[in-house]
Amino acid sequence: MAKRIDALLTQGQTISFEFFPPKSEAERATLEKTIAALEPLEPSFVSVTYRGGRESRQRTYDLVAQMASRGIFTPMAHLICVAHTRVELIEILESYAQAGVVNLMALGGDPPTHEGAVTGELTYAEELVALAREVGEFSIGVAAHPVGHPRSPSLSSDREHLAKKLQLADFAVTQLLFEAGDWSSLVAELQVMGVEKPVLPGIMPVTSLASIPRMAAMGSAVPDSLVAALENAHREGGDAAVREAGISLATELCRELLDLGVPGLHFYTLNLSTATREITERLGWAPERA
């Protein structure tokens, strides 16, 4: 029987990884190598991203269904609502249920801009969560933005929207965060609104200076203090020193989060294994298992 993430979160701290479906044979080979390297860590679950469009949807489905059938990981499929009709979303949800996939990350998604794109009938993730509840017995996660979604008019409105999503969903996973206080503040603000669902912090080490502006573009600006530490490392030892500093700082962040009692750690892997393995090895930590 497929494991549900909401149930896993009641059994102790989890460790989870995020992958994206490969677009080419080269990317497929890289992902297979990464999966083989991370499998010994026995993650509680893994998530597979989806950016919209029929091809991307099929790639996500194929990878998640394969993981479910092989039984090596407990998979969670990402699904966005903005580029689909209601009927299409129901068909997608039913196909996952038939494939034995019970875990879903429900996302609003960015409005499609390419020519011929379908305008979805649903706009917000909370609508997708409600639809998924109608279709099947899914364990459903939603996204959380520690410093607010880039399109939110204010932090308070972002928190109100997140609280509504979490009242319907089972748990949340944050966008990249770099300071433990961002997680604790987010959780405290949700608790004030009467929401105490698990919120998993999203972790990705900054291992190069070139990645800093990309993270900012994703809505996860790297704090000035962290940028300064990485720039200082580069002056002293070049790119290798930056990578070492990034791994060390991410490891320390994980330690702080674990001390705060986070329900688990969610690693954004970019389909690579080395940084994630190094951090977990330095932590000397594995999730408790029932």
Per-residue pLDDT of 34-49, as tens digits, reads 999 999 999 999 999 9
In the 8-state DSSP scheme, what is residue 183? H
CA-closest candidate to residue 19, choices 98, 75, 92, 57:
75
Q: Answer whether 20's CB lies under 8 Å from 156's CB.
A: no
For residue 70, the model assigns a pLDDT of 84
For residue 119, the model assigns a pLDDT of 62
Name the pLDDT band for 214 (thresholds 50, 70, 90): confident
Domains of the chain (ranges; CATH) run 5-205+262-271 (3.20.20.220)
* pLDDT of 288 higher than 50: no
* pLDDT of 205 higher than 70: yes
Can you tell me whether residue 185 is helix, strand or coil?
helix
Task: List, for residues 66-109, the tens digit of each pLDDT value.
Answer: 888 888 899 999 999 887 889 999 999 999 999 999 999 999 87
For residue 260, the model assigns a pLDDT of 97
Task: List, for residues 137-172, the tens digit of each pLDDT value.
Answer: 999 999 999 988 888 888 899 999 999 999 999 999
For residue 290, the model assigns a pLDDT of 36
Contacts of 73 (CB under 8 A, 6+ apart): 35, 39, 43, 45, 46, 67
For residue 118, the model assigns a pLDDT of 57
For residue 224, the model assigns a pLDDT of 94
119 phi, psi to nearest 5 deg: -90, 120
Mean pLDDT for all residues in the chain: 90
Answer yes or no: pTM beyond 0.85: yes
Residue 60 has a CB neighbour count (10 Å cut-off) of 23
Residue 213 CA to residue 164 CA, distance in Å, equals 31
CA distances (Å), origin 229, targets 22, 202, 219, 243? 33, 21, 21, 11
CA-closest candidate to residue 173, choices 198, 190, 156, 191:
198
* pLDDT of 202 higher than 70: yes
* pLDDT of 270 higher than 80: yes
In the 8-state DSSP scheme, what is residue 99? T
Give the DSSP H/E element, type plus range, for residue 177: none
Can you tell me whether residue 83 is helix, strand or coil?
coil
Residue 220 CA to residue 151 CA, distance in Å, equals 13
- Residues assigned a catalytic role: 18
- Rounded to an integer, the average pLDDT of 214-234 is 90
Residue 139 CA to residue 129 CA, distance in Å, equals 10
